[in-house]
Amino acid sequence: MRLPSIPWSEVEHRARTVPGSPVTRAGGADDLTVRGLVTDSRRVVPGSLFACVRGATSDGHRHVPAAAAAGAMALLVDRPVETSLPQLCVPSVRAQLGPLGALLAGDPARALGLVGVTGSNGKTTTSALVRGVLEAAGTCTGVVGTLGAQVAGLSRETALTTPEAPELHELLGAMVEAGARRAVVEASSIALDMGRMDGLAFEVAVFTGFEEDHLDHHGTVEQYWASKARLFEPGRTAAGVVVTDDPWGRRLADQAAVRVTRVGSGADADVRVLGWRTGAAGTEVLLGDDAGGHRVRSPLVGRVHVTNLAAAWATGRVLGVPPDRIAAGLAAVAPPRGRNTVLGGSGRPVVVVDYAHTPRALAAAVDTVRDLTGPGGRVHLVVGARGRRDRYKRQGLGESARAADCVWLTNEGSHGEDPAAIRAELRLGLLGTPAAVRTVPDRREAITAAVRAAGPADVVLVVGRGHETRLLDTTDPRDAVHLDDAEVVAAALAAAHDGDDGLRERAS
């Protein structure tokens, strides 16, 4: 999208609206204009306002010379910098990114009805389902999340589940240009904690569920929950849809100061799950609400999607979508890439590729694939853990892996950590398991071996990376290699089951 030129005086005025942020302006006439807000000096183009953000390992103030050389028109700083460029000095540059990012993108969110989706698991799938419901109602809708940004047949990759505020507002602007009238935004806890969602007002905020995660950032589970609960504050959202099948969801529904629609299997749910069944062909859910009973069908596979479907149904109802349009939208949404992606079958083992990377998500994924096994079939699980992230989860992942019949421990990207040490922590949770446990450090080899070892009635579950296509074992992002779990699975199915069946016997 072509960004608008914004007068320097308007930038100063918007900056002064941020609570607790006295602003000092140094240089720049009122008719000076800037175009676009940038936080990375390598992305500066002529006319940009460069925001000097302090990060965990870098300080944007040190990159002012590079930004100036690239054509930055002005600076947003938290301390004066020696430069000829005009600058606004504020107490917190990060606190300004949402409001100023919105202004410099043309305030696109004002032209959009927004739905925010948060939760430890299920954000991506639920966001896709909500978008499908709104599209079925005739509303062009964009989505921003883990799988990138999509609208009207267009797509763009994003580095983060919830992009930094300037990029997020630019994406919303592109959606408006493409004809969107609504947008669904995945809201990660880190994004909420760091203010990336500031400057946005949602019609509905959705909470898909909760378990411990990202404590390497948040410190405690209470702080993690509080970050997600911010999405349900008055002024940030007009209404909430909350899955209440866990204590954290019930707590949020009780404490939220906005109107909440409760979703779940409990008797107090406003949208109640009355029954469900799932198999290789998809999932069927019977829901009850104030309009009666509703049968919903979806090509999504697995019990993990039952509350995702129910939450999307409830969101549609809150937004006034007729029940028949909601049902049609849910039925039309294909499984998002890397979320219970089903491969194989037809005489070959079924293989499921999923993003499950928390203990509860892994347990649910194993339960799901157990439903897909044939008579006497076994579950083969290919599992690892990400390096330098949430080390506390590893033993819990091992405990959840105990439900499989054969566990293939492998690498998931060590990011400079010792891969053997990561696998050793997973093994702690597997102690005493009746499952056969094999260690195959190379992920490609582990997936291939599991597929070769599986019989026609078996299911292979490959977890942890889902849609991701780059694997990193050092601290330098330039060392990342291409590895797509689904691609490896497809090749293994073709090689092992079109060739020598004896390979299965040797691998097992």
Could you tell me the CA-to-CA distances from 448 to 153, 397, 488 in Å, in that order? 34, 22, 7
The separation between CA 228 and the C-alpha centre of its own chain, rounded to angstroms, equals: 13
> How is residue 221 written in tokens?
């589970």
Report whether 188 belongs to an annotated binding site.
yes
Cα separation, 459 vs 424, in Å, equals: 25
Report whether 127 belongs to an annotated binding site.
no
Cα separation, 188 vs 416, in Å, equals: 25
Cα separation, 419 vs 436, in Å, equals: 20
Report whether 389 belongs to an annotated binding site.
no
In the chain, the amino acid numbered 208 is T
DSSP letters, 26-60, are ES--TT-EE--EESSGGG--TTPEEE--B-SS-BG
In the chain, the amino acid numbered 111 is A
Identify the H or E element spanning 6. strand 6-7
Among 362, 345, 353, which residue's Cα sits nearest to residue 485? 353
Could you tell me the CA-to-CA distances from 192 to 156, 158, 160, 185, 223 in Å, in that order? 22, 17, 13, 12, 11
Could you tell me the CA-to-CA distances from 487 to 106, 328, 351, 448, 468 in Å, in that order? 40, 31, 12, 11, 11
Among 355, 300, 354, 348, which residue's Cα sits nearest to residue 458? 348
Cα separation, 304 vs 169, in Å, equals: 31
Report whether 161 belongs to an annotated binding site.
yes
- CA dihedral 160→162→168→172, nearest 10 degrees, is 120
Report whether 158 belongs to an annotated binding site.
no
Which residues are known binding-site members? 41, 161-162, 188, 196
